[in-house]
Amino acid sequence: MNAIMYKINLNKSSNRLDQFEVQQHKRRVFALSFFFVSLVIITGLAVFFSMKTQNKINTYETELARIDGEIAKLQASAQFISPDDIFALAEVANNRITWTEKLSVLGQIFPEDAVITELYYDYQLKVLRINGVSKVKAQMRDLDLVVAIVDLMKNNEDFAKDFSNIRFSSSTRIKNKGQDMVKFQIECLVR
C-alpha cells in the first residue's frame, strides 16, 4: 500500500511574519521608487520649462538688440524726429498766427474811406505795423478818426485775439492832389 504523507508546518505564525515583512519591503520599495520617479519627472519638467523660458528670453534679447540697433541708426540719420521736435512743431502749429485770416478780417473791418498803404511785421519786437491814409472828415478830428479805426480793430474778436495790445502810433495830415488826408500808423503787439 501506498503511504500517504502529510506535511505539518509548525512554524505557521513565523511564516505570516515573513510574508508581512516581504509585503512591507515591497511597499517600501514601491514608495521609494514612486518618490524617485516623481522626483525625476518633476526635475525633468522644471528643466524643460526652464529651457523654454530661457529660449524666450534669448529671443526677446535678440529682438531688443535689433530694435536698439535700428533706433541708433535712425537717430544717426538726418530724418530722425525726436519727441522734442514733435512737441515743438505742435506748439508752433497751435500758437501760430494765420496771417491770411488776420488780413482778411482786417480788410472787412477797415472803414471804406481808409486805405492800408503798408503792412510791416517786426520779428524782433513782434509788432505788426499798419500804415494807412484816410480822408479828412469835417466833423472829426484827425486823432478821433484813427482812434475809431483802432477801436474797430480791438472790438473784433477774430482780429484782436492774438494781439496783446492794439494802439495808435502816429498820425500826420498831408495833402495829396489838393485833398486833405490823414496818414496814420497803428501797432499791433503779438502775444
Using one digit for the tens of pLDDT, what is the confidence trace for 69-108?
988 887 777 676 777 777 877 777 766 667 788 888 888 8
Cell numbers for 117, please give them.
498803404
pLDDT digit string (tens) for 109-143? 888 888 899 999 888 888 999 999 988 877 777 77
Determine the Cα–Cα distance for residues 107 and 149; give it in Å rounded to an integer.
Answer: 12
Determine the Cα–Cα distance for residues 15 and 19; give it in Å rounded to an integer.
Answer: 6
Look up residue 162 and give its amino acid. D
Q: Which stretches of the chain are assigned E, i.e. beta strand?
A: 114-122, 127-135, 163-176, 179-190
Given a cut of 80, whether residue 13 has pLDDT beyond it is no
pTM of the complete model:
0.51
